[in-house]
Amino acid sequence: NVAAGIVVYDLTGSNTAVGAVSILQFSATMLFTPLAGRLSDRVNRRKMLFVGQLIAFLGALGLAITVGVVGIDDLPGPWPIYAATAVIGLGAAVILPSLQAIVPALVRAEDIDRAITLNSMTFNIARGIGPVAAGAVVAGFGAVWAFGINTLTFVPLLIVLLVIRPRGAVTPEESPDDGTGETVTDALRWILDHPTVVALLVGTLAVGWTSDPFSTLMPAMSERFGYGETVVGLLVGAFGLGAAITAPASDRIRDRLGRGRVVGVGLAVSAVGLLTLAAAPVVHVGLVGAAIAGSGFLLGVTSTNTELQRGLPEHLRGRVMAIWSVAFLGCRPVAALVDGAIADATDPRVALAAAAAIALGAAVFMLVRRPTGSEIASDV
């Protein structure tokens, strides 16, 4: 993602064009993940994960071969990057529901909270290390190498999926007869019947939306600070590092604040980080702001995920977590379009401030509502 953003910005000079990378990457999530969620409640989730990861791997491989043969300077604009991103996004859309729904099948029930946090922590450690490495690789060796290395990063999960054996999930035939059906519409109807779930999805939407600037706006912010490709990776990496540092303490933070408050607090922290980055006079302050935003992001995303997982009936898990994925990542095409358009019309700092305003508004809503998984479970 970092290399794609750098190359597209270099080719076009447009924040909106960089935002198009996120639009293409996450449009499939918005369009196809609900269907994938329905399938994940009916088929083997491990096999479904393997198929999705294989699709994404092939998209990354196609881009690596194209830029290796043609070269970055001879690309016909950003279109090969857009095409590969769309394929990778399709793979992610297949993966996402099962990636979330399979967690309870890998651990004991009493370990679900920590498993979800660990899942997010490993993701954000990668998010902290990967962008820094990407910036260094692009600056030192060129984007061709970055796209080649990226292809290799899809392989470990493919290997893992061949060897793990999750416990079996509830099949439709084993599901309790509680009046819910087997379609995505039935899952949506169930969600609307549970206001606590709706509130958690609103929080998830805000968390996903306010993380987009770290994909769309960082090439422009790096230019504003007077630096090149390496600082793009450092800014995105600082966001991931802030999340990774916060993850081990997230259980204690939830216990201290109360489960219902953590999403709102996380969104408020994200807003502080975004505003700090927007107002930063030098890049060092910007890095601190990015890390603060990453910390808030981690608290928000793990808490919405955990509270939903704690309260969901098993036979709806895939479909509801698919809708959670749409709220979290499916909003990113719209967020990228808005962030890029604001930055091109005004300044990337204004776009960061607008994202902070969304985070603050959502924080107030979540602190008033304070939804928890125990509320969901008591209603089921």
Q: Among residues 211, 257, 213, which one has the least CA distance to residue 366?
A: 257
Q: Are 128 and 79 in contact, with CB atoms under 8 Å apart?
A: no
The pTM (predicted TM-score) of the whole model is 0.75
Task: Give the pLDDT score at 169.
Answer: 47
Alpha-carbon gap, residue 289 to 253, rounded angstroms:
20
Q: Are 150 and 67 in contact, with CB atoms under 8 Å apart?
A: no
Task: Give the pLDDT score at 364.
Answer: 95
Task: Give the pLDDT score at 257.
Answer: 84
Task: Give the pLDDT score at 180.
Answer: 46
pLDDT in tens, 12-33: 888 888 888 888 888 887 788 7
Alpha-carbon gap, residue 326 to 190, rounded angstroms:
16
Q: Among residues 142, 125, 153, which one has the least CA distance to residue 56?
A: 153
Three-state secondary structure call for residue 42: coil
Task: Give the pLDDT score at 376.
Answer: 62
Q: Are 322 and 37 in contact, with CB atoms under 8 Å apart?
A: yes
Task: Give the pLDDT score at 176.
Answer: 46
pLDDT along the chain (380 residues), means of 10: 86 88 83 79 85 95 92 87 93 83 80 76 73 82 91 93 74 43 77 87 91 90 84 87 84 82 93 97 95 93 82 79 82 88 94 96 91 62
